Each structure stands twice: as structure tokens, then as C-alpha cells.
Amino acid sequence: MKALLFDFDGVLVKSMEDHYEGWRRALLEYGIEMSPEELYMMEGQGVRTVASQITRKYNLPREETGEIIRKKQAYYNQIKKIQFYPNLIDVLNWAKEKGLLLAVVTGGARERIMEALENFGLSDYFSAIVTSDDVAETKPSPQPYLIAALRLNCKPEECVVIENAPLGIMSGKNAGMKVVALTTTLSPQHLREADLVVGNFIELLDVLKKLY
């Protein structure tokens, strides 16, 4: 193991509840009620892909996609509370002590990711950041994680992915990497394709020490 590749929302930051609330409020304007699980199962693809899937699923006019995204972002910006998960810093510090390379691999936009990392003083931990702005294909394609490995100059088999959603797990596995899933947003049964499933960063650190 030479590198740890972290998803962002629901892995580094406790933000999926706020994203869901943004989507929920936007879709209520169209008379649609979407469960948290529905959103979490789509996580990782980027906002435009998610919006397109929602418009198809609920038979909304395709031209409404941009307006739905605008409404979602407006609601999200009203309520967002960026919080990093407890004990995350312990994992990051341990990884740095061991000389592991770290990357963020997310379907989110670069501007939002960089702002959050810099505001919390965490940007220096990461040698590579791959966002929706950097890829032609989003998760579950292996492309995001393969680009991260390339930027870190690591082979896929030298990387361990930390994820919280099925599409992210598929992306990491499709890239030929070992995947550890966190149950921050979904139950273990939804994460069963991961190599290992843990409940928090204390358990994650124990697992990483064994893998190292």
C-alpha cells in the first residue's frame, strides 16, 4: 500500500445530509418526494448526471435539468454546514507519518472541494485532487481513480480507496484497487461489494494499519 484515495462527500466531510436536503427542497417544487437512500445510491456521478437521472426517473422535461440544479445549489448554499468527520485527522496524520500518498477523488466541483479543504487547513495533506472538472467519465467508471493513481505515480494495486457509496465502490474496484467502505450514509448491505466495511474512522485506522 502506497496511497490512500478518499472520496469527499460522506467520507471526508459530513455533507450528504445537506446535499439531500437541497435536492429534497428543489424537487418538492415539482411535487416529487425523494428518499435519502435514493440520492445516496446515485452519489459519485456529479450533479448534472444525478439531475439528468432524476428528470428521467420522474418524467420531468429534460430542459428542466439546469433549473433543478440551480434550485438545488441555492438551497444547499443556504443550509450547508461543512463538518469533517471525527478522528479523520488521526487517519491523515498516521498516513503522512508512514509516507503514504493521499488523494481526493470526487464527483464534486473543484472550487467547492478546494474551498473546504483550505478552510480547514487540510489541503496540504493531499498530493492530488481529482474532481468532476478533471474527468470525462464519472463514477462508476474507473477513470477518476485511475487518474488519481497516475498523478501520484502509483500502480492501481498499490492504492486503497475509501468510499461510502456503491458507485464509488464500483469505480475503485473497476480500477483494480482495494476498497474500504464507511457506513456514514448507507447500511453495510448496500456496501457489500467493498473489500472491507467499517463504521467510523477509528475502525478505518485499525484496518489500514493491518493493510500496511
Q: Is the pLDDT of residue 184 over 90?
A: yes
135 and 172 part of one domain: yes
64 and 86 part of one domain: no
Return the CATH number at 153: 3.40.50.1000
36 and 64 part of one domain: yes
88 and 136 part of one domain: yes
pLDDT of residue 209: 97
Whole-model pTM: value is 0.92
Return the CATH number at 30: 1.10.150.240
The three cell numbers of residue 137 are 467519465
- What domain range is 45 assigned to? 16-79
Query: Which whole number is the average pLDDT over 131-156?
Result: 97
**What is the pLDDT confidence band of residue 37, given thresholds at 50, 70 and 90?**
very high
pLDDT of residue 81: 86
Query: What is the C-alpha separation between 77 and 152, in angstroms, rounded?
Result: 32
118 and 64 part of one domain: no
Query: What is the C-alpha separation between 35 and 47, in angstroms, rounded?
Result: 17
110 and 200 part of one domain: yes
Q: Answer with the one of 48, 79, 110 that is the final residue of a domain.
A: 79
60 and 164 part of one domain: no
Q: Answer with the one of 79, 109, 127 that is the final residue of a domain.
A: 79
Q: What is the CA radius of gyration of the chain?
A: 17
Query: Which whole number is the average pLDDT over 56-71?
Result: 93
Domain count, the chain: 2
**What is the pLDDT confidence band of residue 172, given thresholds at 50, 70 and 90?**
very high
Q: Answer with the one of 61, 79, 97 that is the final residue of a domain.
A: 79
Query: What is the C-alpha separation between 68 and 190, in angstroms, rounded?
Result: 27
pLDDT of residue 46: 83
pLDDT of residue 92: 98
Place of cell 509516507: 99
pLDDT of residue 202: 97
Please measure the distance between the N-terminal and C-terminal CA atoms of the chain and give it in whole angstroms: 6
20 and 62 part of one domain: yes
The three cell numbers of residue 23 are 435536492
pLDDT of residue 45: 86
pLDDT of residue 206: 97
187 and 91 part of one domain: yes
Q: Which residue type is seen at 76? A: Y
163 and 119 part of one domain: yes
136 and 206 part of one domain: yes
45 and 132 part of one domain: no
Query: What is the C-alpha separation between 178 and 35, in angstroms, rounded?
Result: 30
